[in-house]
Structure 1
Amino acid sequence: MGIGEIFIILIPIFFVIILGYLAGYLNVFDKNSSKGINTLVTKFALPAHLFVGVTTTPRDVLLAQWPFMIALVLGIFVFYFIIFLVTKFGFKFNLSNAAMFSLNSAQPTFAFMGIPVLGSLFGSEAVAVPIAVTGIVVNALLDPTATIMGTIAQREKAENESMAKVVAKTFAHGLREPLALVPLIAVILTLLGFHAPGLLSDSFNEIGDVTSGVALFAVGVTVGIRKVSFNIPAFSIAFLKTIVQPTLMFLIAWAMGMSAENTTMLVLLVAFPGSAVAAMIAVRFESMEAEAGSAFVLSALISVLTLPFLISLLM
């Protein structure tokens, strides 16, 4: 694919992000209203879109996604633990800082940029299942693990509960998140032979079809309302997120013998900017808050250059 074709695809996407950025920067939206947009995307629009995408996918096609999920676990979850071990024992970060640094280095904003970017390249129907699988890995595995690490670091706040109970509650909460629960239910139903009828698909699509534009606008607003600190930890997170993780994912896909199309999807899914959700988890634990927020903005800026480069390289 030529550079001109790539920019024709990406310019409308970044236009909506810039529009959202201006809305946030000019205080048309504040943190509370920004949270409302994010809630619309992550709890309603995107889960509805993914439910339709998965339940209209043939069972055999879904079963063929297991290597894709394994690659995501390696490229996101195992990558998280590698960064965690390096920062905890190599750079002597405390437990909470290591967990939050690693989370923001590993979690992509797939929920907001997956449909518009990958959908433009492959078609929205073709990418629904890969994005749903990513949602399960991130929301049912990665986020709960980082939350448990943060909870252990604040152990004195959970003295009345056993650690086993804390772990169970945290993973249960992760599975209750719509971005994990809805795709998981859709996967189970599809494996049992369910195929969404037209009326059900049309009903879910009424809310699901707003995902692309609203999600991009939400990314822009989130960037626009944040202040950027140009410090080494923030740059390090952004570098790991936009350069190191996509490179690692490419090597994983190559070693697993993935198809060219799946390799491109895998690499781009982790090449998206860092996640605002990961930054919010850092705020929750009062650990690396400024660095995580700044890294989110920096990774978004870097991705303006890296995404066109990766697309031209892989397609």
Structure 2
Amino acid sequence: MSFSHIVTIVVPVFVIILVGYGTGRLRLFDASGTQALRDLTMQLALPASLLLSIWRTPRHTLVEKLPLAGLLALGFLAVYAVLFAVLRYAARTPLKRAALLALACVQPQYAFMGTSILTGLFGAAQAAIPIAVGGILVNVILDPVVLVMLGLPDRTALRTEARSLSAGATRPKHAMATAGGGGTAVAVAPAVTTADDLPEPPRTSALQTVLHQLREPFVWGPLLGLVLSVTGVGVPEVVGSSLTLLAGAASSAALLYVGLSVAKVGRPRLHPRVWVISLISVVVLPLLLYSVGKALTSSEAAAQAALILAFPVSPVPLMFASKYGDKADEETIGSAVVVSLILSFITLPVIINLVG
């Protein structure tokens, strides 16, 4: 594939993202409008596209894609575990921050940008399978694991609160003593409050989190398509035409949402942590997976897996940081979303040319 052809596939994607960014800067969409655009993509258009594409894929083709699924599991799950362990235990990063930063490194915008670019490179049927496999791995395994960790109590914060309570006047503790005249005197001594005395916040149930994710159309749509393909059920013409019309909105709506998300983040902060996350996301991880994939499987599977991971940082870790992290986490991941998107304008064509 010529580099000029790659550019003609990639550049229009960034043009639509730029349109979304301008729309966001002009405030033509408010917060509810942006959320509606995301829901249109993730709840309707993209699930319809994946369902139809996988449904139409022959059973033997799905079996041939098992090595691709293994590579994506390596890229998403194994690399996340390594990064989390390094941040948590080697760098002594707090639990929630380590979970969020590691997620930002490995969760790309394959669902938002991948539909347009991978379809242009491989065709709709071939593009749907890696996107669907990635969606299942991320939404059924990776994100629920991260949400469970984010729901765990922060023992460090509890100890800090305990120390602050102990330093001041804490709850009184009565001690009984016998006075010289035979009466009883009551002495009041401060009681030390420890982290164990403080109530723990409710923990996230792993099973409930997974079941919640399975209710999302972006997850069960591809799974339903897989079941229908494996069982040999044909696509009725009316159903196929209807799903095709709905799927047509997936690419444009997803790219507009990316631009709106970037506009909401604003000017990025260019501190070292942002650069590390961005470079891992758009350069290090895809090239690493491509090298490993070529050694273990075929060049085609390695290329598709690498390209799924070559997209910029997803807005999903930013949403998690806004809800569970602090201001520093939100700023770091938001900046990484913007920086990785800018870098990917250069890195995506280069990586496509390299692995293509």
Distance 2:346 2:68 in 1: 26
1:269 paired to 2:313: no
4+ residue runs over 3 A deviation: none
| Partner residue, 1:199 | 238
Measured at CA, do residues 230 and 32 of structure 1 come closer, stay the same or move farther in structure 2, by a change above 3 Å? farther
Task: Tell me the secondary structure at the aligned position of residue 86 of structure 1.
Answer: helix
| Partner residue, 1:230 | 270
Task: Tell me the secondary structure at the aligned position of residue 305 of structure 1.
Answer: helix
User: In the alignment, is the contact (CA less than 8 A) between 1:31 and 1:225 conserved in 2?
Assistant: no
| Partner residue, 1:311 | 352
| Partner residue, 1:83 | 83
Q: Which residue, out of 342, 345, 349, partners 1:301? A: 342
Distance 1:91 1:19 in 2: 40
Task: Tell me the secondary structure at the aligned position of residue 204 of structure 1.
Answer: helix
Distance 1:79 1:263 in 2: 16
| Partner residue, 1:218 | 257
Distance 1:47 1:168 in 2: 23
Q: Which runs of 5+ in 2 are unaligned?
A: 156-199
Measured at CA, do residues 153 and 104 of structure 1 come closer, stay the same or move farther in structure 2, by a change above 3 Å? farther
Task: Tell me the secondary structure at the aligned position of residue 93 of structure 1.
Answer: coil
Question: CA-atom RMSD, angstroms?
Answer: 1.6
Distance 2:288 2:76 in 1: 10
Distance 1:195 1:94 in 2: 51
Q: Which residue, out of 157, 178, 181, partners 2:201? A: 157
User: In the alignment, is the contact (CA less than 8 A) between 2:290 and 2:355 conserved in 1?
Assistant: no
Identical aligned residues as a percent? 33
Q: Which runs of 5+ in 1 are unaligned?
A: none
Distance 1:177 1:237 in 2: 28
1:243 paired to 2:283: yes
User: In the alignment, is the contact (CA less than 8 A) between 1:95 and 1:153 conserved in 2?
Assistant: no
| Partner residue, 2:171 | none
Distance 1:3 1:93 in 2: 42
Distance 1:34 1:231 in 2: 28
Distance 1:282 1:113 in 2: 22
1:42 paired to 2:37: no
Deviations 1:277-298 (A, max 9, x none): 1211121212411111111111
User: In the alignment, is the contact (CA less than 8 A) between 1:233 and 1:291 conserved in 2?
Assistant: yes
User: In the alignment, is the contact (CA less than 8 A) between 1:30 and 1:225 conserved in 2?
Assistant: no
When normalised by structure 2's length, the TM-score is 0.83
For structure 1, which segment, 87-96 or 26-35, has the greater mean C-alpha deviation from structure 2 after superposition? 26-35
| Partner residue, 2:101 | 101
More helix per residue: 1 or 2?
Answer: 1
Distance 1:2 1:55 in 2: 31
Alignment of 1:122-201 (within 5 A): 122-153=122-153, 156-158=200-202, 166-201=205-240
Deviations 1:241-281 (A, max 9, x none): 111211221122112222x3322211111000111112111
Task: Tell me the secondary structure at the aligned position of residue 234 of structure 2.
Answer: coil
Residue type of the alignment partner of 1:173:
H
User: In the alignment, is the contact (CA less than 8 A) between 2:67 and 2:297 conserved in 1?
Assistant: no
Task: Tell me the secondary structure at the aligned position of residue 271 of structure 1.
Answer: coil
Q: CA deviation at 1:14?
A: 1.2
Residue type of the alignment partner of 1:234:
V
User: In the alignment, is the contact (CA less than 8 A) between 1:27 and 1:225 conserved in 2?
Assistant: no
Q: CA deviation at 1:31?
A: 3.0
Q: CA deviation at 1:64?
A: 1.8
Alignment of 1:67-78 (within 5 A): 67-78=67-78
Distance 2:100 2:317 in 1: 8
User: In the alignment, is the contact (CA less than 8 A) between 1:13 and 1:216 conserved in 2?
Assistant: yes
Task: Tell me the secondary structure at the aligned position of residue 234 of structure 1.
Answer: helix
Deviations 1:111-164 (A, max 9, x none): 1111100111111222112211111111111111111111124582216xxx7x
Q: CA deviation at 1:100?
A: 0.4
Task: Tell me the secondary structure at the aligned position of residue 225 of structure 1.
Answer: helix
Q: Number of matched residues?
A: 309
User: In the alignment, is the contact (CA less than 8 A) between 1:96 and 1:149 conserved in 2?
Assistant: yes
For structure 1, which segment, 60-69 or 84-93, has the greater mean C-alpha deviation from structure 2 after superposition? 60-69
When normalised by structure 1's length, the TM-score is 0.94
Distance 2:349 2:45 in 1: 27
Distance 1:69 1:11 in 2: 28
Distance 2:19 2:79 in 1: 33
